[in-house]
A and B are shown apart, each in its own frame.
Chain A
Amino acid sequence: MSAATSTPVVTSPGRRPRYLAIAVTAAQQAVAYRINTVAGIIGNFFWIAILYYLWRAAFAETTRIGSFTWSEMRTYILLAFGLNALIGFPTASRMMYAIRTGDIVIDMVRPLNYLRTQLAQVAGAAVLEGVTSFTIILALGIGVVQILPPASPFAAVLFVISVAMGFVTKFLFVFLVALLCFWTINAVGLNWAQLAVVNVLSGTLVPIELLPGWLRPVAEWSPLRGIVATPVGVYLGQDTGWDLTLMLGLQASWLVLLWTAADRAWPRAFRAVEIQGG
């Protein structure tokens, strides 16, 4: 007894913060799905290849499309898909199926905040998926596509910060969509819709400045640009000074707003379904 009080560290060996423990477990599970992970990345690669070849053909005729040069464009494509893959289709599916199948009950009986639990799980899985896809894309980028380095060391630092914010932004968006699974069993349809909207409005498929018509202003100000367009813009050094501050400010504001929305939405979703007797 006295030994324990004198050396408190020994009494709880290796105790980790709760949400870190959840993240680590999720990462371990992701290792088990590693074939899926790699396949998911290769699945992404198809569209990277399509875009790469299309833009290459386009840049054969001209040196500049919008504000993009060919080397900027191919850097953009690779980074965009790499970032968007951090929270991939399988991760979103897992979140949705947990609600659909009722496995969510297990999370609910634990003394944890549901939103944070989910974030920790997604982050844990993404560490593995992210590292794998990052390695592949880096290899592709350096070996085959010859991407540009960050515009400056300062841009590199801001890029990392912006990617972190973008990651949580995407998580929150997917989380909010996943809550709809309380009302529908068609998780696949929801997931497609989510994926399509993110692909367009985040600037993954096309840089936002090239979007046609009304889509462009919508994407400019939408929270989803924080997932891809903002961090990649920072990386390429497209915005400087006041514009840069504005972009990062917008990204951070949306993040806070989405977090607040998500934090309020999930208890309501739970209650609504309980009332329905679901």
Chain B
Amino acid sequence: MLTLDLHRLRFYARIYAKLILLQLRAAVEYRADFWIGVVGAVLMNGAGLVFIAAFFSRIPAVAGWSAWEVATLYGLTMIAYGLREMLCDGIWTLRVQINRGEFDRLLVRPLSPALQIVTSLASIHGVGNVLLGLVVFLTATHRLELDWTVAKVLWVLMTVVCGLIMVTAISFLANVIGFWEPGTQSSFPFMVSNVVEFAKFPLELYGWGIRFLVTAVLPYGFVSYYPSLILLDKENPLRWLGYATPLATAAVTFVTAWVWRKGLARYQGVGH
């Protein structure tokens, strides 16, 4: 049974890689559009960086966070978000696919529908966000004279992987609403997804409502802030939550999988 599952897993991984690579390659082929997308995405996040530069040229630190520490958060968030755009953006097509009846197609293939929906779109402009995020993150940690140890490198890798899974899971959660309300063209998914902006800054700045939102409801805080408490060795009563990053990610993934199954069952008309 276990070997069979392993075979299945390897098969899925191979199919995923093929599909997403084809999508990315196709996206690069429209060269002008590719560059416009990258520049647009980079400018969007660049605007936020301009704000940080302006802000911290007047104030040395805010709530105990220096400019480069905030930049670390900003960079980590951008990397996770950009990776999602490149590798797992397909869920954003769910509503359209349901409306046009294209979702049926996914159900007559011998593959998991979730895998197929994930690979139905690759937003190549994410590459701009990933690169800018990397530059910001590496510059910031360099300026902070972060003492790189193997443990810290592994910690950052874990943070990025969990961050990618977290933002992907939340975007799934937001878009699965399409199974229940396929007709309305609400911006609900965009709104949910945009909550990630809060994670670009230290959470202790915000009131308790926002802090609760990004810790317990849409836990974007685990994409950057909580793991950074440990990476940057910050004194904070909630520091221990940093270690819960993989757990929080697993929990959100679990909930998302459950909701996805519910949505799929609803689409297939189970129980009527």
Contacts and interface: CB of A to CB of B under 8 A. Distances in A.
Given A39-B191, A185-B30, A54 B36 contact: no
Contact of A199 (B30, B40, B47, B63): B47
Contacts of B38: 189
A190 interface: yes
B90 to A, nearest CB: 16
Interface string B218-241: 000000000000000000000000
Nearest to A180: B36
The prevalent SS among residues of A at the interface is: helix
A57 B63 contact: yes
A196 B47 CA distance: 6
B190 A192 contact: no
Given A35-B186, A189-B40, A53 B207 contact: yes
A200 interface: yes
Given A46-B194, A50-B197, A206-B54, A189 B47 contact: no
A210 B47 contact: no
Contact of A54 (B30, B43, B62, B184): B62
A195 B197 contact: no
Given A49-B206, A189-B36, A189-B125, A211 B59 contact: no
A197 B194 contact: no
Interface stretch (A17-25, A58-66, A161-169): A58-66
Contacts of B55: 54, 58, 206, 210
Contact of A212 (B47, B50, B188, B197): B50
Interface residues of A, number: 42
Interface string A27-54: 0000001011001101100110111011
A185 B30 CA distance: 9
A186 B40 CA distance: 10
Interface residues of B, number: 43
Interface string B159-196: 00000000000000000000000001111101100110
Nearest to A57: B62
A210 B210 CA distance: 27
Interface string A193-215: 10111011000011000111001
Contacts, number: 118
The prevalent SS among residues of B at the interface is: helix
Contact of A184 (B32, B125, B187): B32
Contacts of B48: 205
Contacts of B46: 196
A186 B50 contact: no
A186 B36 contact: yes
A188 interface: yes
Interface centre among A33, A47, A53, A183 (most CB of B within 10 A): A53
A66 B197 CA distance: 26
B224 to A, nearest CB: 14
B40 A188 contact: yes
Interface centre among A49, A188, A191, A192 (most CB of B within 10 A): A192
A36 B185 contact: yes
Given A42-B191, A57-B62, A193-B40, A206 B186 contact: no
Contact of A205 (B33, B47, B190, B201): B47
Contacts of B194: 43, 46
A42 B190 CA distance: 10
B58 A53 contact: no
Contacts of A56: 205
12 contacts: A39-B191, A43-B187, A43-B191, A49-B198, A50-B197, A53-B207, A53-B210, A58-B59, A186-B34, A188-B37, A196-B46, A212-B53
Interface of A: 33, 35-36, 39-40, 42-43, 46-47, 49-51, 53-54, 56-58, 61-62, 65-66, 183-186, 188-193, 195-197, 199-200, 205-206, 210-212, 215
